[in-house]
Amino acid sequence: MGEPVIELVSLTKRFGDNAVLNGVSLAFGKGEITTIIGKSGVGKSVLLKHIAGLIRPDAGQVLFKGQDISRLGKTARKELRQKVAYVFQNAALLDSLTIFDNVALPLVENLRLSKKEIREKVRARLGQLDISEIGDRFPSQISGGMKKRVALARALVTDPETVLFDEPTTGLDPVRKSAVHSMISDYQRRFGFTGIIVSHEIPDVFFISQHIAMLHDGTIHFYGPPGEIENSEDPVVRDFLHGIEPRQDAITGAESGAQIRRRFGREASRPEEDPSVFSIVLFTLENMDDVSRRAGHMASQTIVRNFALELKRHMGAHDTFSRYGMNKILALLPGTGKARAEKLCERLAREMDGNPLAQDKTCPGVVFSVTAGIAEARQGDSFGNALREAESQTGTLYTFKVC
Amino acid sequence: MDSPRANLTAPVRSLGEGTLEFVRAWGRASIFFARGFWAILATRPQPLKFLFHLHFIGAKSLFVILLTGLFTGMVLGLQGYYALAQVGSEDRIGTIVSLSLIRELGPVLAAIMVTARAGSAMAAEIGIMRISEQIDALKTMNIDPVRFLFTPRLLASILAFPLLTAIFDMVGILGGCLTGSVLMGDNSSKYFYAVEYSTGMDDVLGGFYKALVFGAVVSTICCFQGFYVHLRKDGFGAKGVSSATTSAVVLTCVMILVADYILTSFLM
């Protein structure tokens, strides 16, 4: 973990007889995205509200860069708070103000900027989030997805160092959910803020997070990188993930990452008398950040979905695939050696050449490419090794230039 | 089943809890008022928000104030004439109407009418902002919600109430003239002579002070009820907002009358 920006030290909070947080200690590294997961009602939002200063703890401390907020003077606390932004679950836009005024509000109230400077800053943020055209509308006149984007624009307009997201994708359709995740990840890389997300969207949030913290029974039950939690043998973690992880990815219709790992395990543990090679192919959709910036995050996620549908059309009855990152798809081809896998990729590349995966209306003139890394596996091979091999097989990469 | 001891102590406990809740609520309301008032003196002015609320509380209440002022004066004129005719002092009708209106009825009735029109709207609007996390959003943006929401309304009320009361008084006096003098076939100059002769600056200032205080009372109680709607025990969400709005109107009307009595006893 990078240098910690925010630290929670033995945070305790009770509501009546219910101890929601019971000595939570957790640190959030600078410039990283940490996702807090856990069952409903376990206290994830309460934890986030402690960081935002909306709730005071019964005991324990919230430290910003090593300073206890409760011990700071009013001015210092105000300065510190200006560095933290909060994106609410329901967007919490001021419904009597226009979208433009909502985004401008933190600038107008907190910074002594000229009207021109405020107008320029707000227009820039609205433009970056593809909502320039709705500046003069009111929150009740726009869709849920747009409200989320406005909330994000309002949070980012002051260039905060830390952004807190409380279930940012609740109530959105699958493509929009994925677009919001892609947007958070994209903006985090662009602006470099520290992101703390409370979410139920597993495994999607694993694709964009550097760390996962699981809250259980008032304490942090698990903390680590996404890969670690997915492979965790802890029964509480397993039960939670098993209960919440969907069998199919909502966008691509593909199997979940956990299922494809299990399938790999079955293939790799076939009996000696039934030996069989099999392959995995890791497809990576390149230039997606560029696509998102030029044509919007919805367009990039539509491309991922359309590519997955095309891939499915070319696969055999026993083949399977899974989404393995925001822009990555992992295919498992049983009984298929590397040579046949390469042929499949060639055929796919040939037939997809010139195929308009991106609809013209959504992203005119966008050019992107898909790369494929192939790894052959046999009995006894580990999933991790095969995946690393696929990632490093630059010699067998196919680049499909698809417009 | 509760033990006999618990049954015996239940009324005392309930009384104690009620008293504590009462003290807590009034303490919270006092701090709320102090924070809002302090923001008028010590923080950056909010002229646009102030003008907006002045328009909403003042200008938009004008019609209802004109209507109620006129009819209150007309009723006073009729009733006053009837009563004074019994003792042959009909020429003092101007005195009765003007003093009743300027010292008492003008500030009180104007305040109650504005409570019904603008006070309920303040409670409902701020209450909805609370339950939809808009107030939390203000806090996370480092904006003091008391200053942002309450201070402009408080300042606008303090300025609008005396003006509305003055209009109420003036229209009421004209209404009184209409029914107590003109319709009765009397000379209106006698009416206005009585008004001028019997009304002193102390009476006008008394009514003015009352209107100032009522302005602060109405905006504080109505905004407070909406602002702390999430702490109510008689309902959450939309139901909480509805009961907060009802409480705001009822409590404000009661507090106007209580404050009126206290002020009258000091100003007499």
Q: Which ipTM value was assigned to this complex?
A: 0.82
In a domain, B22, yes or no: no
Angle between helices B106-114 and B237-267 (to 10 degrees): 170
Most B CBs within 10 Å, among A56, A80, A84, A88, to test the B interface: A88
Identify the closest residue of chain B to A81 by CA–CA distance: B142
> How far, in Å, CA of A352 to CA of A320, rounded?
19
In this complex, the residue of B137, B142, B148 whose CB is nearest that of residue A92 is B137
In a domain, B17, yes or no: no
> Residue B88 sits in which domain range?
52-267
**pLDDT tens-digit profile of A298-325?**
777 778 888 888 888 878 778 888 887 7
Q: Are A229 and A237 in contact (CB under 8 A)?
A: yes
Give residue for tokens 């009743």.
Answer: B100
Q: How far is A107 from chain B (nearest CA, A)?
A: 9
Report the number of distinct structural domains present in chain B: 1
What pLDDT, on a 0 to 100 scale, did the predictor assign at position A360?
47
In a domain, B235, yes or no: yes
Which SS3 state, helix, strand or coil, does residue B149 take? helix
| Of the listed ranges A208-212, A370-374, B214-218, the one predicted with least confidence | A370-374
Taking residue A384's Cβ as centre, other Cβ atoms within 10 Å add up to 12
What pLDDT, on a 0 to 100 scale, did the predictor assign at position A107?
93
In a domain, B16, yes or no: no
pLDDT at B65 over 90: yes
Most B CBs within 10 Å, among A15, A54, A78, to test the B interface: A54
Q: Are B82 and B176 in contact (CB under 8 A)?
A: no
- Dig out the tokens for A266 from the structure: 């079955």
In a domain, B58, yes or no: yes
Q: Which pTM was predicted?
A: 0.79
In a domain, B212, yes or no: yes
**pLDDT tens-digit profile of A130-179?**
788 898 999 999 988 788 889 988 998 988 889 999 988 887 777 778 87
In a domain, B12, yes or no: no
**pLDDT tens-digit profile of A215-243?**
998 899 989 888 888 778 888 888 888 77
Most A CBs within 10 Å, among B125, B133, B146, B148, to test the A interface: B133
> How far, in Å, CA of A289 to CA of A274, rounded?
44
In a domain, B40, yes or no: no
Chain A positions touching B148 (Cβ under 8 A) are 109
Identify the closest residue of chain A to B130 by CA–CA distance: A92
Cβ-proximal residues to B248 (8 Å cutoff; 6+ apart), any chain: B115, B119, B120, B122, B123, B221, B222, B225, B226
Residues 6-65 of A with CB under 8 A from B: 49, 52-54
Q: Are A12 and A60 in contact (CB under 8 A)?
A: yes
- Dig out the tokens for A146 from the structure: 């747009």
